[in-house]
A and B are shown apart, each in its own frame.
Chain A
Amino acid sequence: MAELNKGDEPMDATPNVSEVEAAGVAGETEAVAAIEAPVERGEPILQVRNLVKHFPLTQGILFKRQIGAVKAVDGISFDLYQGETLGIVGESGCGKSTVAKLLMLLETATSGEVFYKGQDITRLSGRALKAVRRNIQMVFQDPYTSLNPRMTVGDIIGEPFDIHPEAAPKGDRRRKVQELLDVVGLNPEYINRYPHQFSGGQRQRIGIARGLALNPEIIICDEPVSALDVSVQAQVINLMEKLQDEFNLSYLFIAHDLSIVRHISDRVGVMYLGKMAEIGTDTQIYDHPTHPYTQALLSAVPVPDPEAREGRERIILTGDVPSPANPPSGCRFRTRCWKAQDKCAEEVPLLAVPERFKSSDTPAAHESACHFAEEKDVVHAA
């Protein structure tokens, strides 16, 4: 654990800090039982296979020609099961928001498939597309820009019914909107108010109500609480959990806050530069990470407990995330990885259960895209 910097990048100035401050804080946090109740999964409701999105970089005013591509999402696969929450974490530019847009069919995938109940939805259009949209809804990050300021709350939450008239008979809509307001914990009498008369947390509730209106099966949440105050975040998270139980929703929960993702997710995927680095149950990822990026990410999270903090190992990565327009060859993390070797530059590591853990029954046996995967607990005090 001595040298973290492989010097692939001209990052000579930054020393390689790896502070192992072994303050003897006895681990009162005994690993909270690694054994999880086996989850009844059944058929996945959403299957993502080799999803790719490249944004072309063009030059020219009237006649554009392509000079390259930003590889925002570069071959992602995962499943989402009925009633579960799959968390996706990663730093800015890792492509997690693009994944959300692709699943919402707001962007057209460059290649790859998204199967909703067995049907590929990436190439749908017209009526079929509209029908699928009813079942996949979204909650946005910024409660200040996600609601049309010129519309009343009633119009905003009622808009799904205007667009899909078959979802609710006309005379019934006002009552439905009021029901929805009640469900998300807002006073149904606010139906005629405008968004700017509400605080951030309340607006996010309005956004959630709009997402629920068509009774979808999947809700894609793109950083739904990161714009909210700490004390309000907890309210919204609790509301989302309550709604999930009530309506048997499946969440794809995209966030950069690892603590919140652990709290709400059943499974977690870690993304780096358009690829999935590691995916597994929350215990597997947080307590038994095997990918160096996951380990660095987890160790960097500031913990609101100075004592637990001092007993933890910190891996401080050097440098920044490379540009997705020109990602490193082989493993994309190798330029910041302390384990990187020649193999990492030549061979793209596949997302699979590492060979060494395959036969054993440890929580480390989950999919990880690293040639040199090894388990390392960075979350708990030493």
Chain B
Amino acid sequence: MPDTTQTTLTAAEKTGGDTAALVSKPEQRKPRSLWGDAWFELRHRPMFWVSATLLVLLLLIAAFPGLFTSADPTKGDLTNHFLSKPELTHFFQPDWFGYDGQGRSIYARVIYGTRASILVGVGVTAAVTLVGGLLGLVAGYFGGLIDSIISRMTDMFFGIPFLLGAMVVLNAFTERKVYVVVLALAFLGWTSMARVTRSSVISAKQADYVTAARALGASTTRMLFRHVLPNAIAPTIVVATIALGGYISAEATLSYLGLGLSEPTISWGIDISQGSKAIRDNPHALMFPAGMLTLTVFAFIMLGDAVRDALDPKLR
């Protein structure tokens, strides 16, 4: 082992080290990791704060709908049948957004419908990132025959139209709970994650530090999860964040077509579908769930953009 007492370093070399230590800003004395840098970038973007605020609110609503309304979304009172138009000054009251065709509070339904949308969005994203990411990692890192097989499989799935495929799959189920929709969408949606991850893994694995680790005798697991994945994951995160909004709208589309979530689950898609039947006289029954849906998708896509800018400034 190196014996430090022997080392005769000139003062010059030491100073050399010191001068360059000042490369970063004075207040950034503490080590600055790349993730830290990305967080710094993110913090300085108004777009991030707008979307983050919206998303925190939506998550709160999804987790604790009872905090936001006292009305029961499933209790219909036919005396309220379409009679009540929105009372826009009755903040947080059951009649704030008016009542739907079965006399249920639209406000309460919008609030309670959030959970399904968020669950589907987050669930599908988690599933496709895990499955697609792992397949992409394995294909990109090992290459050869494994890569050929996974890539061809990806191509095949990629050929299936996303919504049409989901409709065919979901049609096989009579009662469609959240997890069923999540599985169906994830089954068809993992391909883009696999592709993105694969290509960034291929470029990351060519870096000299991966070779260096191999030269040290590092195990495959170590190389994959310590060297390759941390340096290849950024594009996957970006794509996943943006795709999340897309999955939420896909769920709504399917529910609208009657092939997504089914009653008694409360979902914006179902409400949009029902609201659209009376659109001429009572547009509010459609407008509010649709508005919430748009807002949510918008928030996720905006977050995705902000994350992309922060993680990969070159893409801007």
Contact = CB atoms under 8 A, between A and B. Distances in A.
Interface string A171-195: 0000010011011011100101110
A193 B1 CA distance: 23
Interface stretch (B203-211, B270-278, B298-306, B307-315): B203-211
B217 to A, nearest CB: 4
Interface string A88-113: 00000000000000001110000000
A137 B215 contact: yes
Nearest to B9: A185
Question: Considering residues B6, B24, B33, which has the most beta carbons from chain A within 10 angstroms of its beta carbon?
Answer: B33
B224 to A, nearest CB: 13
Interface string B30-61: 11111100000000000000000000000000
20 contacts: A129-B217, A140-B212, A145-B207, A146-B208, A147-B209, A148-B226, A150-B34, A183-B2, A183-B4, A187-B21, A192-B30, A193-B21, A194-B34, A197-B21, A198-B23, A201-B16, A202-B16, A202-B17, A215-B1, A215-B2
A197 B32 contact: yes
Contact of B20 (A106, A130, A202, A242): A202
A297 B117 CA distance: 69
A246 B20 contact: no
A230 interface: no
A163 B23 contact: no
Contacts of A190: 17, 21
B27 interface: no
Nearest to A212: B2
B40 to A, nearest CB: 13
A146 B7 CA distance: 25
B302 to A, nearest CB: 27
Which of the four size classes fits the interface of chain B?
A: 35 or more
A149 B231 contact: yes
Interface of B is mostly: helix
A16 interface: no
B26 to A, nearest CB: 13
Contact of A106 (B31, B215, B227): B215
Contacts of B35: 150
A134 B213 CA distance: 12
Interface in A140-172: 140-142, 145-152, 156, 159-160, 162-164, 168
Interface of A: 61-62, 104-106, 129-130, 133-134, 137-138, 140-142, 145-152, 156, 159-160, 162-164, 168, 176, 179-180, 182-183, 185-187, 190, 192-194, 196-199, 201-202, 207, 210, 212, 214-215, 235, 239, 242, 246-247
Interface string B197-232: 000000000011101111111110010001100110
Contact of A183 (B7, B21, B30, B215): B7
B2 A138 contact: no
Nearest to A141: B208
B216 A246 contact: no
Given A148-B227, A150-B230, A193-B31, A185 B215 contact: no
A239 B8 CA distance: 10
B215 A186 contact: no
Contacts of B222: 162-163
Interface in B113-168: 148, 152
B145 to A, nearest CB: 8
B14 interface: yes
Contacts of A198: 20, 23
B13 interface: yes
B214 A106 contact: yes
A232 B6 CA distance: 23
Nearest to A214: B216
Question: Considering residues B31, B33, B148, B216, which has the most beta carbons from chain A within 10 angstroms of its beta carbon?
Answer: B216
A179 B31 contact: no
A142 B211 CA distance: 12
B217 A164 contact: yes
A329 B9 CA distance: 52
Nearest to B18: A187
A150 B33 contact: yes
Nearest to A61: B148
